[in-house]
Structure 1
Amino acid sequence: MMMDPFERIESTLFVVTYGRSGSTLLQNLLNALPGYMLRGENANLLRGLVQSWQGLRQSEQGANMRLVGQPSGPHQPWYGYEAIEADQLGRDLAQVFMRTVLRPEADTRVIGFKEIRWHEDPALFEPTLEFLQRYMPRARFIFNTRDHAEVCRSGWWKTMEPAAVRQELEQAQALYSKWQAAHPESCLALHYNDYISGPEAWRGLFDFLGKPFDPELVQATLDRKLMHMK
C-alpha cells in the first residue's frame, strides 16, 4: 500500500513571485537538490480552493451564517450548513491539492511550486499563504524579486504601460514585505540581480533550506540555458 504523501513529505516550499523575475532559474536550482520537487506554475489553482475555505471560515465567524452553533432541520434553507467545519475543509483541500496537483514522487521529500499570480487578487494574498502555512507540511516561502525597471522591459511587460507595470510590481512587493515581516522564520527574500552574479550569492538559500552549500551545483544551474528564453 502506497504511503500517503502527507506522511512522507518533510516540508513544502513555495516560490512567490511575478513574471520575468528569474523564478524559473530558481526553480531549476531547487529541482537539482536531492529529494526536492518544485513544480511550475499552475495558473493559481489555489485561488478557488482558498476562496471556498475562506468563505466557510468567515461564515463560522458569523459574517454570513446565522445558524452557526445551532442545529438546523430539513425545513430550513441552510439545513446542515452549521455542521461543516472550515478547518476540516482546509485539510481536505490541501490533501487533494497535494495528490492531484503537486503529485510528489516516491523519493520526494520536499515538494512545492512557483507561481507568478499570487498578487493578482490582493484580498486573497494573505489567506492563500495562511492556507498553505496551516495545512501543508512545514510550509516555507521564497519571495523572488527583480529590479522593476528590468521587469518593465522584459517579456509581455514591455507591451504594457510602464506606470501600470510599476504600480503592480510595487503592490506585489508590499504584499511580500508585509508577510515576511510577520513570518520571518519561514520566509526568505531573494533578488535576481543579486544571485545572477555567481554561486556565492546563493549561499543564503542553502542556509535557509538547511543544506550544505554546493557552488558547483549552482554554477551548473547558472550555465544551463533556459528553453523558454529562446
Structure 2
Amino acid sequence: MSRTSRLRARFARRPKTYRYVFVVTYGRSGSTLVQGLLNTLPRTLVRGENGFYLLPLFRARATAQAFRKIHLKHNPKASHSAFYGLNDVTPRSFVESTRELVTGHLLGSVSSDQVDVLGFKEVLWHRIRPGETEAFFDFMDRTFPGCLYVLNERDQEAVVGSGFWQSHDRDEVLGAIRRVEEIQAELRRTRPDRVIDLRYELVTSDDQAVSDEQLRRLATFVHGSCDDALLAALRETRTTGHGPYPFGKSRGRREGT
C-alpha cells in the first residue's frame, strides 16, 4: 500500500467529528500549565505550540479566493485554459483540507478512538492583524465547528520579567500582550458561550478554594463536569513543572546559576 493510500485509509477510520479547544494567550502566561491541565481531562488531547501555521493557511485561503474570483471568467474547466482547475479551489475545499491536515497533526501517533477533544495552545495570536481578526475567526469557526477558546492571562509585569521575554524590548512585549488582550476581548464579545477566562495567579493560588474553583470551571467548560476524582488529578497536574524550564529555571539558566 502506498503512503498516500495509507494516509487516506487512516483518515477514513477517524470519527467524522471532534470537539476542538484552543488556548489563546501570550508567552510566559502559564499556557503550558493550562495545556497540562487540559490533557488531564478524559479523552482530551491538547498539543503545544506549532508556530501558528494556521495563520498562513488562513492567508493562503484568502489569496486563493481572491485569485479565483478574478479568474473564474477565464473558463478554468477547460484543459486549454491558463487557469485550468481553478474552479475546484473552493473556500469549502480549503476549509475541509485544513481541518484534515490539522486534525492529523494533532492526533499524531495517538489512535483516533482514544480522543474526543483536540486542540493546541499557542502564544503567537498577536500576529493576527487587526483588519483580519473577524475573517480569521470566521475561518476557525468553519474549520473547527463549535470550537472552544481558553483565554489565559497573567499579570503583565510578571510576564515581562520572566525568562523568555528578558531579551526582548519591553514595548514589544507589552504590544504583543495588548494585541492578544484585544483578540481575547473580541472573542468574549462575539462568542461568549464558547470562551472561558483563566488567570494564572488564580490557578496557582495558595488558597486551595480559589484554585479549585478555576480547575472545576475549566474541566466543566471542556469536559462537561468535574467530580472529586478529576479535581484531584487536576490538583496533581497543577503541582507539576511545565514548560522547557519549569519553576522559574529559565531565569537561573540565563544568569548562569
Same fold (TM over 0.5): yes
Q: Does 1:119 align with 2:133?
A: no
Displacement of 1:146: 1.0
Match of 1:153 among 146, 161, 185: 161
Cα distance in 2 for residues equivalent to 1:143 and 1:6: 28
Of 36-45 and 71-80, deviating more is 71-80
Q: Does 1:212 align with 2:212?
A: no
Deviations 1:144-181 (A, max 9, x none): 11111111101231222222321221122112211221
Match of 1:93 among 95, 98, 111: 98
AA aligned opposite 2:14: P
Match of 1:78 among 83, 87, 97: 83
**Residue segments in structure 1 that go unaligned for 5+ positions in a row:** none
Cα distance in 2 for residues equivalent to 1:35 and 1:87: 29
Q: 1:145 to 1:227 in 2, by over 3 A?
A: closer
Q: Does 1:31 align with 2:39?
A: yes
Q: Does 1:203 align with 2:216?
A: yes
**1:225 corresponds to which residue?**
241
So what's the TM-score if we normalise by structure 2?
0.77
Task: Tell me, yes or no, if the aligned pair for 2:21 and 2:147 is still in contact at 8 Å.
Answer: yes
Deviations 1:10-66 (A, max 9, x none): x11111111100011111111111101101111112123212222233446x4xx15
Cα distance in 2 for residues equivalent to 1:100 and 1:215: 29
Q: 1:152 to 1:29 in 2, by over 3 A?
A: same
**2:3 corresponds to which residue?**
none
AA aligned opposite 2:232: E
**SS class of match (2:241):** coil
Cα distance in 1 for residues equivalent to 2:194 and 2:66: 26
**1:165 corresponds to which residue?**
173
Of 24-33 and 184-193, deviating more is 184-193
Q: 1:227 to 1:169 in 2, by over 3 A?
A: closer
Of 201-210 and 117-126, deviating more is 117-126
Considering only aligned residues, what root-mean-square deviation do their CA atoms show, in Å? 2.4
AA aligned opposite 2:25: T
Task: Tell me, yes or no, if the aligned pair for 2:35 and 2:121 is still in contact at 8 Å.
Answer: yes
Task: Tell me, yes or no, if the aligned pair for 1:47 and 1:124 is still in contact at 8 Å.
Answer: no
Cα distance in 1 for residues equivalent to 2:127 and 2:33: 22
Task: Tell me, yes or no, if the aligned pair for 1:54 and 1:127 is still in contact at 8 Å.
Answer: no
Cα distance in 2 for residues equivalent to 1:80 and 1:225: 51
**SS class of match (2:72):** coil
Query: What is the percent sequence identity of the aligned residues?
Result: 26
**Residue segments in structure 2 that go unaligned for 5+ positions in a row:** 1-8, 206-210, 250-257
Displacement of 1:76: 4.4
So what's the TM-score if we normalise by structure 1?
0.85
Task: Tell me, yes or no, if the aligned pair for 2:49 and 2:122 is still in contact at 8 Å.
Answer: yes
Task: Tell me, yes or no, if the aligned pair for 1:133 and 1:140 is still in contact at 8 Å.
Answer: no
